[in-house]
Amino acid sequence: MRSEEHLLVEEQLITAKDTKAEKTTSEKEITEAVLPDKPRCLDEEYEMVYHRPKTMVDVSMHYCPGCAHSLVHKLVMEVVDELGIQEETIGVAPVGCAVFAYDYMNIDMSEAAHGRACATATGIKRLMPDRYVFTYQGDGDLAAIGIAETLHTINRGENITIVFMNNAVYGMTSGQMAPTSLVGMKTTTSPFGRDVMDYGEPIRVSELISHLPGAFYVTRQAVNSATAVRKAKKALMNAFRYQKLKKGTSFVEIIGNCPSNWKMTPIEASKFIDDEMIKTFPLGDIKLPKGEDLKLLEEVK
């Protein structure tokens, strides 16, 4: 079972790697991240340093090898575990690769129509304002077909958490151009590369929505290195905790990878994020709570 001590060990393992890690992701580092120093074993004589969050269902996932979704699912469920809010949390799944999220997350969930997760979450949260409600959406779902619901939900300051997985491509339908596809990026529907004359620049959703007063916390993270994973989890933890304040929407964009549709190995895809994606989508906090809200935050800690 997870205990404070085990958490500490896990933290130390990651921190040890952090100090070594460069900003770019090398093959060596990924190997290290996957294989911890201590063997994973259920025998009593060994110390348990890692286990599946109890809010994750023990089934094989449909995600491609190296895909960020499975990792981010785990992070969200770790947050639910660590906050002890399984009974109070309702998730909303999108249409896209994460459409089956409810197969993996052991919480009550609703599978929304394409792009409408924010509206569905609004319906749930308005009726149950004390529950933790989150949406988990991809870039096609949130930034193309669902941009109206996204903007209005955030503008109303719905007290929900939006987990926005941006991998610059439609994954489930096999690699079509997304509103967040990079300039020049080749996809099945932009075979010669995304042309700004035809499709404009990729939408930087986090920057866009940060201007809305209803957006309380906006951050962009990645999960392509141990450091990034740790930061992303912290951001998700903050985003969930902020719901208690009823001060507005918390929005966590995560730059994910899509090795299958980017036609890359997982390692190449992780490198592509550092080398290319973050030029268009720089990582970091975009909007943070200020003033009085900061004091309130101390109370919920």
Partner 1 sequence: MKMETKLMKGNEALAEAAIQAGCDAYFGYPITPQSEVLEYLAKEMPGRGGVVLQAESEVASINMIYGAAGAGFRSMTSSSSPGISLMQEGISYIAGAELPCLIVNVNRAGPGLGTIQPGQGDYFQSTKGGGHGDYRLIVLAPSSVQEMADFVFLGFDLADKYRNPVLILSDGAIGQMMEKVTFGKFKPNKVDKPWATVGKPATRERNYITSLHIKPEMLEKHNEKLIAKYEEVKKNEVRFEEINTEDAEYLMVAYGLCARICHKAVNMAREKGIKVGLLRPITLFPFPSEKLNLLADKMKLMLTVELNSGQMIEDVKLAVNGKVPVEFYGRLGGMLPNPDEIVNKLENLIKKNHAL
Among positions 18, 27, 87, 201, the unique one binding partner 1 when judged by CB under 8 A: 87
How many angstroms separate the Cα of 291 from the Cα of each of 210, 211, 240, 244, 295?
17, 18, 20, 17, 7
What part of residues 131-150 is at the interface with partner 1 (CB under 8 A)?
131, 148-149
Q: Which is nearer to partner 1, 21 or 121 (CB)?
A: 121
CB 255 within 8 A of CB 167: yes
Sole window of 35-43, 96-104, 165-173, 276-284 interacting with partner 1 (rule: CB under 8 A): 96-104
Query: Counting contacts by CB under 8 A, is residue 174 touching partner 1?
Result: no
Question: Closest approach of Cβ 2 to partner 1, in Å?
Answer: 17
Query: Counting contacts by CB under 8 A, is residue 121 touching partner 1?
Result: yes
How many angstroms separate the Cα of 3 from the Cα of each of 8, 55, 89, 107, 125?
9, 16, 22, 22, 31
Among positions 10, 88, 268, 285, the unique one binding partner 1 when judged by CB under 8 A: 88
Sole window of 109-117, 136-144, 220-228, 250-258 interacting with partner 1 (rule: CB under 8 A): 109-117
Query: Counting contacts by CB under 8 A, is residue 113 touching partner 1?
Result: yes
Mark residues 149-168: x for contact with partner 1 by CB under 8 A, - for none: x--x----------------
Binding positions for partner 1, rule: CB under 8 A: 86-90, 92-93, 99-100, 102, 105-113, 116, 119-124, 126-128, 131, 148-149, 152
